[in-house]
Structures are given as structure tokens and as C-alpha cells.
């Protein structure tokens, strides 16, 4: 595990509070599912080392992204929602924004990479969103969204670098504590940092002693590099785009997320492509839960990098989503 050094934080970004998290949780009641903790009884799990999955794949859109998107759009005024909203996403945040916008009567425009999984593009379109496609770099998506927002007056709904987004995603952390108060370790995928920021803040602000460790692909380890050096590191689009974990293909974590991760995250583990695919297969066949590659990184860390993790008798691995392309699932299941 990459243990995070002490980093001097600037005060240029505001931090979320426990009240922000609780307000988001109240708002999301009846909208987002309080996903259960599912005990894993497969290889490596013992009475002394319990592993639980938190399957955010059970959300109405198949991922945790509904939490933050709904919380953010609900914070807008009626006039702002009338202008329409826009975001940039490889797929899951796209669906979260489309779902929330439709629920609140706002037009949604989504900038997506051309190589986004077809299952995610189709689901986003089915929710009534207008889709604009660009290249595969996350920076390119962001720039196009900003350009269209300026041109048409749309309100930007960032995928991760935003306090309401972080608070919404953090409600998953409050649920973990409610269901397993004595949890000792929580493993969270890291892309742009919205989920990891929110979950880590939720546990620490609630007074939990649990360690929170982020997990990301080695090919897109911008968070690991950033927290190691004490500044936001931007990686090349080609490297980030090459990981099978399409939901974690960010070129850099957000500035606000960096603030939260620096303060609340206990470490970062990077996993290989082969480890991700093997973990995905084990979750689907061993736990009978659907997951996409991005959601399997936490299991990959638990299986293949246990020595790098803090000791824990009760661990929760967040499965961030289950929107996998059926062809990809078939390929992974057939691999030996």
C-alpha cells in the first residue's frame, strides 16, 4: 500500500461536513437504494478475516453515481434546472445525471468518449439525455462540456470535483457504518476521487477508527502519484484510456477531492489489469454479484495485495458499479 505522507493542505477548497453528508442522505431517501453488505464466503475469507461487498451495482442506474448526481441537481434552483444541465463522463456519471435530470424535469446533455461501453451509452440515451461524443481523453471531455455550457447556458454537473457530488457519494459510507459499525477497513475505487473522498470523509467525520484505502488501476494511478508527491498529478490520456476499468480512466483527481483524500484517506493500492479481470470473475462466479471492471478493483486489492493492506478482521469492499458490457463479461468468464 502507498501510505500517504503528511501533506500541507491549502485552504483554498472547502471541505464537506457531517451535516452535509446527513443532509444528502435525507434527500436521497427513496431515490438511491441503501445497498446491503453481502458477506463473501469464497477463498481467503475466514472467521478471522471477514469480507463484505457493498454492491452499488444494485442502484437504479447500476452504479453509485446516482447519489452524487441527484444531490447536486437537487441543489440547483428551478431557474438553473430550466437552463438544462451538462456533464462529461465515460458512462456511469452520465447515467446518474440523466436519471436525476429526468426526475427533476431538466434537459441533460452528456459528453462521452467515442469508445464508451455501448451498454452505458444506450442506457444514457434511454434516460432521455442528449449525447455528444469526443475522443477518449478525460480532459477532452471536460473541455467540450465547458465549451457547450458557455455556448448554451447549461449548468455544469461535475463528475467528482464538487462538494455536493462528494457529499452524495459519501452517503455510501454512512450506510456502511450503519450496517457494520465495527468495520475495520473499507476499500474504495478511485477514479476522479468523488466516491473515495465521500466515503473516507463519512467514516472519519462519524468518528470511525476504520482505515479507508483507495484502489485504482496501475495504468491510471493518478491518485497514487498525486498523494505520494503532495500535488495533483496529471497522467497521459493514452495510459488512462488503456485500462479495462473504463470508469476509472481519469487523467487526474479533482482539486477538491485531493483536499479530502489528503486529509481522510489512509493509503492507495494500485492493481494490474490481470488482477482486475480475475477479481471481476471471482465476484461474478463466487459471490454471484454483477460487477464491471471498475467495481472489481477493490476485490483485486484484497486478493492480490493483502500484505499491503492494514490488518482487518472486518473489511468492506465497495463494488462501485455493475454496468459491464455483456461481451466483456463473457470474455472474462471464459478466461483461464
- Looking at the fold, whether 58 and 170 belong to one and the same domain comes out as yes
- Looking at the fold, whether 107 and 171 belong to one and the same domain comes out as no
pLDDT value at 8 more than 60: no
pLDDT at 47: 76
- Looking at the fold, whether 209 and 142 belong to one and the same domain comes out as no
pLDDT value at 72 more than 90: yes
- Looking at the fold, whether 208 and 330 belong to one and the same domain comes out as yes
Domain finish residue from 104, 135, 156? 156
Average pLDDT, the chain: 92
Per DSSP, 4 falls in state: P
* Sign of the Cα pseudo-torsion (203, 224, 165, 246, in order): negative
- Looking at the fold, whether 51 and 80 belong to one and the same domain comes out as no
pLDDT, one tens digit per residue, over 117-170 is 888 889 999 999 999 999 877 788 889 999 999 999 999 999 999 999 999 999
More confident site: 135 or 292: 292
CA-based nearest residue to 166, from 84, 310, 309, 263: 263
- Looking at the fold, whether 135 and 166 belong to one and the same domain comes out as no
pLDDT at 11: 39
What are the grid coordinates assigned to 290, written together?
A: 454483477
What are the grid coordinates assigned to 43, written together?
A: 477463498
Round the CA-based radius of gyration of the chain to a whole number and report it.
18
Confidence of residue 1 (pLDDT cuts 50, 70, 90): low
Rounded Cα gap, residues 157 and 63, in angstroms: 17
What are the grid coordinates assigned to 330, written together?
A: 463473457
Q: What is the average pLDDT across 253-259?
A: 95
pLDDT at 274: 97
pLDDT at 119: 86
CA-based nearest residue to 188, from 205, 171, 167, 173: 173
- Looking at the fold, whether 54 and 73 belong to one and the same domain comes out as no
User: How many Cβ atoms from other residues are within 10 Å of residue 178's Cβ?
Assistant: 12
- Looking at the fold, whether 210 and 285 belong to one and the same domain comes out as yes
The model carries a pTM of 0.92
Range of lowest pLDDT (13-22, 98-107, 197-206, 307-316): 13-22
- Max Cα distance, the chain (Å): 58
Q: What is the average pLDDT across 178-185?
A: 98
Strand partners, 170: none
Three-state DSSP string of 161-202: CCHHHHHHHHHHHHHHHHHCCCCCEEEEECCCCHHHHHHHHH
3-class secondary-structure state, position 132: strand
- Looking at the fold, whether 201 and 283 belong to one and the same domain comes out as yes
Confidence of residue 279 (pLDDT cuts 50, 70, 90): very high
CA-based nearest residue to 174, from 3, 20, 10: 20
What are the grid coordinates assigned to 37, written together?
A: 453488505
Domain finish residue from 156, 183, 217? 156
Rounded Cα gap, residues 178 and 93, in angstroms: 25
pLDDT at 293: 96
Rounded Cα gap, residues 247 and 145, in angstroms: 18
> Whole domain around residue 11: which residue ranges?
2-63+162-334
- CATH assignment of the domain containing 94: 3.40.50.1100
- Looking at the fold, whether 21 and 59 belong to one and the same domain comes out as yes
pLDDT at 7: 35
- Looking at the fold, whether 127 and 204 belong to one and the same domain comes out as no
pLDDT at 90: 79
pLDDT value at 3 more than 70: no
Domain finish residue from 106, 138, 156? 156
Burial of 217 (0-12, 13-18, 19+ CB in 10 A): buried
Percent of the chain with pLDDT over 90: 82
- Count of domains forming the chain: 2
pLDDT value at 336 more than 80: no
Q: What is the average pLDDT across 9-18?
A: 68
Confidence of residue 2 (pLDDT cuts 50, 70, 90): low
- Looking at the fold, whether 139 and 37 belong to one and the same domain comes out as no
Rounded Cα gap, residues 127 and 97, in angstroms: 9
Amino acid at each position: 500500500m502507498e501510505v500517504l505522507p503528511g501533506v500541507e493542505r491549502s485552504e483554498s477548497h472547502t471541505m464537506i461536513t457531517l451535516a452535509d453528508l446527513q443532509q444528502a442522505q435525507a434527500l436521497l431517501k427513496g431515490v438511491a437504494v441503501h445497498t446491503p453488505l453481502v458477506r463473501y464466503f469464497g477463498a481467503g475469507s475466514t472467521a478471522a478475516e471477514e469480507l463484505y461487498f457493498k454492491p452499488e451495482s444494485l442502484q437504479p442506474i447500476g452504479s453509485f453515481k446516482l447519489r452524487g448526481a441527484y444531490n447536486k441537481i437537487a441543489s440547483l434552483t428551478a431557474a438553473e434546472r430550466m437552463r438544462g444541465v451538462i456533464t462529461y463522463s465515460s458512462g456511469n456519471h452520465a447515467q446518474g445525471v440523466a436519471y436525476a435530470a429526468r426526475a427533476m424535469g431538466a434537459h441533460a446533455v452528456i459528453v462521452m468518449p467515442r469508445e464508451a461501453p455501448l451498454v452505458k451509452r444506450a442506457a444514457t440515451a434511454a434516460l432521455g439525455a442528449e449525447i455528444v461524443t469526443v475522443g477518449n481523453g478525460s480532459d477532452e471531455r471536460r473541455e467540450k462540456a465547458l465549451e457547450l455550457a458557455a455556448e448554451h447556458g447549461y449548468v455544469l454537473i461535475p463528475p467528482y470535483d464538487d462538494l455536493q457530488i462528494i457529499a452524495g457519494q459519501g452517503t455510501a459510507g454512512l450506510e456502511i457504518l450503519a450496517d457494520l459499525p465495527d468495520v475495520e477497513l473499507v476499500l474504495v475505487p478511485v477514479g476522479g476521487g468523488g466516491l473515495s473522498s465521500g466515503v473516507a470523509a463519512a467514516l472519519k467525520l462519524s468518528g470511525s477508527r476504520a482505515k479507508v484505502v483507495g484502489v485504482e488501476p496501475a495504468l491510471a494511478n493518478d491518485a497514487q502519484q498525486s498523494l505520494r508527491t503532495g500535488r495533483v498529478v496529471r497522467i497521459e490520456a493514452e495510459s488512462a484510456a488503456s485500462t479495462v476499468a473504463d470508469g476509472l480512466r481519469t487523467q487526474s483527481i479533482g482539486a477538491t477531492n485531493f483536499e479530502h483524500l489528503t486529509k481522510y484517506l489512509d493509503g492507495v493500492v494500485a492493481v494490474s489489469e490481470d488482477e482486475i479481470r480475475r477479481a471481476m470473475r471471482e465476484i461474478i462466479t463466487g459471490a454471484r454479484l454483477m460487477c464491471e471492471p471498475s467495481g472489481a478493483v477493490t476485490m483485486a486489492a484484497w486478493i492480490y495485495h493483502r500484505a499491503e493492506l492494514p490488518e482487518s478482521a472486518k473489511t468492506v469492499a465497495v463494488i462501485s458499479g455493475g454496468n459491464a458490457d455483456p461481451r466483456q463479461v463473457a470474455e472474462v468468464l471464459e478466461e483461464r
